[in-house]
Structure 1
Amino acid sequence: MSSSSLRLLVTSVLLATVSVFDVVVAGPVANGALQERHHSHEMRSALPGSWFHTEEGEVHKLFRRQNLDAGGYPAVGSPAWTAAYPSGTPDNTKLPQAWVDKLNAAVAAGTIPNIPQTTVTNGGTVYPNGVQRDSPEVCSADDFVCRSPDDVWDAPNGTVAIGFDDGPLQPSGQLYDFLAANNQKATHFYIGINILGNPDLFNRAYATMGDDIAVHTWTHPYMTSLANIDVLAQLGYTMQIIHDSTGGRLPRYWRPPYGDIDNRVRAIAKQVFNMTAIIWNHDTGDWTGASPDKIKGEIQGWLNGPKSPGLIILEHELSASCVQGFMEAYPLFAQNGWTTTSTATLVSAPGSGPWQNAANNTGPVTGAAVGGVVPAIVTTSSSAPATTTNSTAAAAATSTPKKSRADQTSRPVAMTLAALSGFAALLLL
């Protein structure tokens, strides 16, 4: 059984258990649990103010609001801030027109490939008959089937990219304490609805610690299963809340949930929002509920191996065991001669950084991309061809795909409600 199948199985068990208590909240679920996966939600309100229309290549105009001229950005966590965003899955009929116009223009120009949506099954995602996920035309990254040259997979030699998915959540506080105590910068691939539910933790990571912020979608769906307009909504709203909560900064990077991305989704992210996907080349399996010792052991094995390429490790801030596993493994990086740096900073070209329109978290925000010319947009053909695991031995040799059921530690049969509240966040892997 594939890793995607394992994740869906875990999700089904959690849903069946938690549904007994009918956990329903007006906003994001506490501790990230269930994250709107089994409840329908509507927009709290329409976005305030009217929107400027975009001009080609000026991504920042997609997110400017006219009403900001009068009062500035609402305070993060305030009622005005909270009311501006969807409390669950975004309503694709209420998107800013500037986003929709930009998407439609890209489709009309032929720069968004016409790849069919996948169907989510117990085995992950399935394309319609005749569509080959490992073909250069599709290039699905799920389970390392295909490496696109437009994604980031590897860190520079001898370096470990420090980054965490799925926050901000309750366990994030302990992680942030540890990072601050060790003067370690990290990239947080944040879920939009978790920012909405945990503004204080967001502020701590961004404003107090000065960490890098990246996009991990609004509600953590399989992105290839969505229509173009819903891909737009998942990325756009997450960029919007980050933009509005950082003084107008726009993330340069995003990470697809489950590594589920293909050339269609890839192109929407780049063509409309100028974002590049960061994948990973090693997976701790912390999302399975693995023990801290097991997580530490996985990392130890990689650190003892070759230092080329560097490590981009899939880790999460969604449970106490995830955080504890990282903290226990952290001293091993320096002991084994590796350098650690925030993922977004590490993979950025010289002169750029984690933001499209600012040099850092404290400097001025500009209307144009920082670091020179805006990176080239994705097209349906590339001078650097996509590689698949069947044809590229090096990629397979240096990457550890998401684990199959046989590789995982068995989950206890009996689970207390306290444990369940933490593990329910596995829905947002």
Structure 2
Amino acid sequence: MLTLALLTLPLLSVASIHSRHQHDHAHNIAKRLPSPQWYHEPDHPVHELFRRGAPTDGVTYAAVGSDGWSAPYPPGPPASPDVKLLPAAWVAALNDAIARKAIPDIPLSTNVSDGGSPVYPSGSDPNSPQICSATYQCRIDGDIWDAADGYVGLSFDDGPEAGTASLLDFLDQQKQQVTHFMIGSNIIYQPDDFLNAFNRGDDIAVHTWTHPHMTTQSNLQVLGELGWTIQIIHNSTGGRVPKFWRPPYGDSDARTRAIAKEVFGLTTIIWNQDTSDWSLDESPPGTTADKIKASMQQWLTGPKSPGLIILEHELTNDSVASFVAAYPVMKSNGWNVVSLAQLVGNNASYQNSASNSGPVIAADVLGAKSIVASSSAPTTSPSGAANSGSNANSNNSLVSAL
């Protein structure tokens, strides 16, 4: 029977623990869901991987920002998470999805040296139904690219980052909630900004652990990029499991989105307009504040069908300033401006709650067996981690755990 080993995370060897900037003061997590009953669909792997009881899961999590909180996680960029240290339960869930042919067996793409889009091997069509690369604007049913008519779904990528504090200050002034697609390793280094975003009522979603082009990653690497980011969000928010992820650079395909959905229950969100604000502080700049202002003016005064999902970043104060300048234009042109995760999730931003406010109704509760988690001591250890062996760089070969 699965215990709460995955929740408390004593998973990595001492040798894998690396030094980080630490905070020695305690943090409190806001109670955003009054007296909820939390649940998962019992037939989905995420129910076992991140199981939660009702109304609590019986785990005392380490204070966000403390040594005990940060120590169990892998390093951040430029290193990708070590596939040999993946929790065995994650690998088992991936193996099961591969065995039932839920993960397409398609080739990995390759990064190109000039910084352009990843390319697939010769003879592979990125717009074919088999691959359907979002980088090449191929849309897969169930992925989210557009907001509902008349809505702007607000979201910001790459946080917590240098622009997060100024973004949150402005959002406080406007009493506006947004969705943050956060990089897992960034949370380690900026725990205060993470908690400030979460505690003010913003929605936290997955933007991978190290921000790679995901279609260049093996199945196990995709597993680690998503799994560790879910885990740190889960352990830093009282047990919430994100519902949504956004692939860095918008780089996803039928394989990567299937791993996200089949193993971790994540829905893929892309965008339908791009500010390129991430390039504001490059030298030379890839865009300018004036160019972003002109684009925003065009989008926000144009048709309201479909609604807008605009790619924006909290990377710097400059990128945040471009959003601040556009926000009054959103409001004055009659758009409904809401947090993206709440909009597309029907006010449920996390997988284990039916809504963001108030308890689940009785009909939604799955019963004691499916929602009660073990409170026994963790049993997972480094010897229970996945051993990828020669499969680390293969695609759909089954991966065995020790």
Q: State the TM-score, normalized to the length of structure 2.
A: 0.74
Q: Residue type of the partner of 2:320? A: V
| Structure 1 position 98 matched with structure 2 position 89 | yes
| Structure 1 position 321 matched with structure 2 position 318 | yes
Tell me the equivalent position of 1:141.
134
2:131–2:254 contact (8 Å) kept in structure 1: yes
Cα gap change, 1:156 to 1:291, in 2 (>3 Å)? same
Please give the secondary structure, in 2, of the residue aligned with 1:120. Answer: coil
Alpha-carbon distance between aligned partners in 1 of 2:236 and 2:298, rounded to the nearest angstrom: 39
Tell me the equivalent position of 1:86.
74
Cα gap change, 1:64 to 1:348, in 2 (>3 Å)? closer
Q: Can you list the C-alpha shifts for 1:97-134, whole angstroms capped at 9, x where unaligned? A: 10000000110111100011111012321111111000
* CA RMSD after TM alignment: 2.6
| Structure 1 position 120 matched with structure 2 position 119 | no
Deviation for aligned residue 1:358: 1.8
1:356–1:369 contact (8 Å) kept in structure 2: no
1:117–1:127 contact (8 Å) kept in structure 2: yes
Cα gap change, 1:71 to 1:256, in 2 (>3 Å)? closer
1:292–1:326 contact (8 Å) kept in structure 2: no
Q: Can you list the C-alpha shifts for 1:161-183, whole angstroms capped at 9, x where unaligned? A: 11000000121000000011101
Alpha-carbon distance between aligned partners in 2 of 1:189 and 1:27, rounded to the nearest angstrom: 22
Please give the secondary structure, in 1, of the residue aligned with 2:111. Answer: strand
Tell me the equivalent position of 2:156.
164
Q: Residue type of the partner of 2:316? A: S
Deviation for aligned residue 1:363: 5.5
Deviation for aligned residue 1:56: 4.5
Q: Can you list the C-alpha shifts for 1:247-301, whole angstroms capped at 9, x where unaligned? A: 1110110000011000000100000001001100000111111333322221111
1:358–1:369 contact (8 Å) kept in structure 2: no
Alpha-carbon distance between aligned partners in 1 of 2:71 and 2:230, rounded to the nearest angstrom: 16
Q: Residue type of the partner of 1:130? A: G
Please give the secondary structure, in 2, of the residue aligned with 1:126. Answer: coil
Tell me the equivalent position of 1:281.
272
Tell me the equivalent position of 2:193.
201
Please give the secondary structure, in 1, of the residue aligned with 2:161. Answer: coil
| Structure 1 position 332 matched with structure 2 position 329 | yes
Q: Can you list the C-alpha shifts for 1:13-42, whole angstroms capped at 9, x where unaligned? A: xxxxxxxxxxxx9448xxxxxxxxxxxxxx
Question: Percent of aligned pairs with the same residue?
Answer: 54
Alpha-carbon distance between aligned partners in 2 of 1:218 and 1:369, rounded to the nearest angstrom: 32
1:151–1:278 contact (8 Å) kept in structure 2: yes
Alpha-carbon distance between aligned partners in 1 of 2:264 and 2:68, rounded to the nearest angstrom: 25
1:358–1:370 contact (8 Å) kept in structure 2: no
With a CA cutoff of 8 Å and minimum separation of 6, indicate the structure with the bigger relative contact order.
2
Q: Can you list the C-alpha shifts for 1:335-378, whole angstroms capped at 9, x where unaligned? A: 111110000111124xx611000245675699x9889xxxxxxx
Q: Gapped runs of 5+ residues in structure 2?
A: 1-17, 22-40, 281-286, 367-402
Q: Which of these residues, 184, 195, 214, is aligned with residue 192 of structure 1?
A: 184
Alpha-carbon distance between aligned partners in 2 of 1:313 and 1:288, rounded to the nearest angstrom: 15
Please give the secondary structure, in 2, of the residue aligned with 1:166. Answer: strand
Q: Residue type of the partner of 2:155? A: G
Alpha-carbon distance between aligned partners in 1 of 2:365 and 2:172, rounded to the nearest angstrom: 27
Deviation for aligned residue 1:313: 0.2
| Structure 1 position 346 matched with structure 2 position 343 | yes
Q: Residue type of the partner of 2:149? A: N
1:179–1:185 contact (8 Å) kept in structure 2: yes
Cα gap change, 1:369 to 1:312, in 2 (>3 Å)? farther
| Structure 1 position 302 matched with structure 2 position 307 | no
Q: Residue type of the partner of 1:166? A: D
Deviation for aligned residue 1:93: 0.4
Cα gap change, 1:369 to 1:264, in 2 (>3 Å)? farther
Deviation for aligned residue 1:303: 1.0
Q: Which of these residues, 217, 223, 245, is aligned with residue 214 of structure 2?
A: 223
| Structure 1 position 62 matched with structure 2 position 37 | no
Q: Residue type of the partner of 1:293? A: D
Please give the secondary structure, in 2, of the residue aligned with 1:326. Answer: helix
Alpha-carbon distance between aligned partners in 2 of 1:163 and 1:285, rounded to the nearest angstrom: 14
Q: Can you list the C-alpha shifts for 1:193-218, whole angstroms capped at 9, x where unaligned? A: 111111111110111x1101100000
Alpha-carbon distance between aligned partners in 2 of 1:240 and 1:70, rounded to the nearest angstrom: 17
1:357–1:365 contact (8 Å) kept in structure 2: no
2:20–2:189 contact (8 Å) kept in structure 1: yes
Alpha-carbon distance between aligned partners in 2 of 1:129 and 1:100, rounded to the nearest angstrom: 30
Deviation for aligned residue 1:87: 1.8
Q: Gapped runs of 5+ residues in structure 1?
A: 1-24, 29-53, 372-429
Alpha-carbon distance between aligned partners in 2 of 1:172 and 1:105, rounded to the nearest angstrom: 39
Deviation for aligned residue 1:61: 2.4
Please give the secondary structure, in 2, of the residue aligned with 1:119. Answer: coil
2:57–2:239 contact (8 Å) kept in structure 1: no
Deviation for aligned residue 1:63: 3.1
